Homo-oligomer: A and B are copies of this chain.
């Protein structure tokens, strides 16, 4: 429960880069290979790969290699972590403090 905060760190960090958000948008339409994903970007492949690794590390995507092709797909469930945080935040504004929100925000404040 203490690593909830660290998960948020890495998820928000992952979302803080335009290249990575564009990849997520693209994957929203369905899985794609690294090369396909990289094509629109004016960036060396190793640099692009760092973004993929970061996204995978954050849990926002998962990848799987078959032969020489690595296919990436979005991991929808991880987006719920963000939504939960937003809900908890909103609950604070609204003065609500039911069980779940209390739980989440307490962890959040360490």
Contacts and interface: CB of A to CB of B under 8 A. Distances in A.
Interface of A: 5-6, 8-10, 12-13, 15-18, 21-22, 24-26, 28-29, 40, 74, 76, 79, 82-83, 85-86, 88-90, 92-93, 105, 108-110
A82 to B, nearest CB: 7
A26 to B, nearest CB: 7
B82 A25 contact: no
Where chain A touches its partner, the secondary structure class is helix
A22 B110 contact: yes
Nearest to A19: B110
A22 B108 contact: yes
Contact of A90 (B22, B79, B88): B79
Contacts of A85: 21
